[in-house]
């Protein structure tokens, strides 16, 4: 099922951050966590999903991703901590949510 989303992966609390966009958040995070997709997240061990937003269409998700990538690290840290102050990995809770059909 396609559900546009932006997300932030981290190596650890206040560690290396990666911001991405996808149409299947669960699948994409699984790929990052298991090193299936080689690249930045694999190289810098960004395995924790610390932030995400869901969108109705990919166009808005891409615009938001560009906005986040254009922002400062400090802004990203504030954003993460606004909804996830303990820097918990949100992947397991995400699997339990029934939000994939809005």
23-51 confidence digits (pLDDT tens): 999 999 999 999 998 899 999 999 999 99
The answer to whether residues 61 and 4 touch, using CB atoms and an 8 Å cutoff, is yes
Q: Where are the domains of the chain?
A: 5-96
Query: Which fold would CATH assign to domain 5-96?
Result: GIY-YIG endonuclease (3.40.1440)
How far is it between the farthest Cα atoms of the chain? 34
Instruction: Please state, rounded to an integer, the average pLDDT across all residues of the chain.
Output: 93
pTM score above 0.85: yes
Distance (Å, rounded) from C-alpha 76 to C-alpha 53? 13
Give the pairing type, strands 5-10 and 48-54: antiparallel
8-24 confidence digits (pLDDT tens): 999 999 999 999 999 99
Token code pair at residue 32: 């990052």
Distance (Å, rounded) from C-alpha 52 to C-alpha 20? 9
């Amino acid at each position: 099922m396609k559900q546009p989303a932006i997300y932030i992966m981290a190596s650890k609390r206040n560690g290396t951050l990666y911001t991405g966009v996808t149409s299947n958040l669960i699948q994409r995070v699984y790929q990052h966590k298991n090193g299936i997709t080689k690249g930045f997240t694999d190289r810098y061990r960004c395995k924790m999903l610390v932030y995400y937003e869901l969108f109705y269409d990919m166009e808005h998700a891409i615009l938001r991703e560009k906005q986040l990538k254009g922002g400062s690290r400090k802004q990203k840290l504030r954003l993460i901590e606004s909804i996830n102050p303990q820097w918990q990995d949100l992947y397991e809770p995400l699997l339990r949510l029934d939000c994939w059909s809005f």
